[in-house]
Amino acid sequence: METLNILRRMTGILTLMTVTILLMLIAMLVMNFTQKSESFGCGVIEENYNSPALQLTETEIKGKELFDANCRQCHAVTEEVIVGPGLKGISERRDEQWLLAWIKNSQKVIKSGDAYANELLKKYGGAQMTIFESLKDEEIRAILSYVNSEKSSGIMP
C-alpha cells in the first residue's frame, strides 16, 4: 500500500516536471518568433532593422545578404579575425579596383606578384580565399557598401 502511495506521488511530480519543461519550451519558441537572431558559431547576432540607427539602405541590405551568404564564414565586418582578416576599414586599405580583382580571384592577384596579396597569404598561413568569379561588380560593391557602413557594426558582434 505504501509503495502504491509513493508511486502516485512520483507520478504527480513527474507530471509537474513535464508540464514545467513544456512551458519553458513554449516560452523559448515565443521568444524566438518575437526576436530575430542568427547563430554562426561565433555567438548570437541580434538584429533590429526597425531601429533608426540601424536602418540599412537598399544597397546595404543586398550587401548584407551577399555577405551572409558568401563572406561571413571567414570574415567579420569588425577587426576580428575569423579565418581571414576582419574587414573593418578594408576600403581604406585597398582601392576598389584591387578589391574587385581580389574578391573575384585572389589567386590570380597573388600570382601577378602583388606584394600586399602575397603578404596576406603569408600572414594567414597560406589559407586561400574562395574564388567568387560569379559575383558581379555591383554585387561586390554592395558587399563593400555594407561592410563600410557604420551601421554594420551595430548589427554584427
Give the pLDDT confidence score for residue 132 in this predicted structure. 97
Note the pLDDT tens digit of each residue in 29-87: 666 655 444 444 444 444 554 555 568 899 999 999 999 999 999 999 999 999 999 99
Whether the predicted model's global pTM rises above the 0.75 cut: no
Fold type of domain 48-155: Cytochrome Bc1 Complex; Chain D, domain 2 (1.10.760)
Note the pLDDT tens digit of each residue in 101-129: 999 999 999 999 999 999 999 999 999 99
Going from N- to C-terminal start, the domains of the chain cover 1-34, 48-155
Give the pLDDT confidence score for residue 30 in this predicted structure. 66
* Half-sphere exposure at residue 13, Cβ-oriented, CA atoms within 13 angstroms: 6
- d(C-alpha 93, C-alpha 117), whole Å: 12
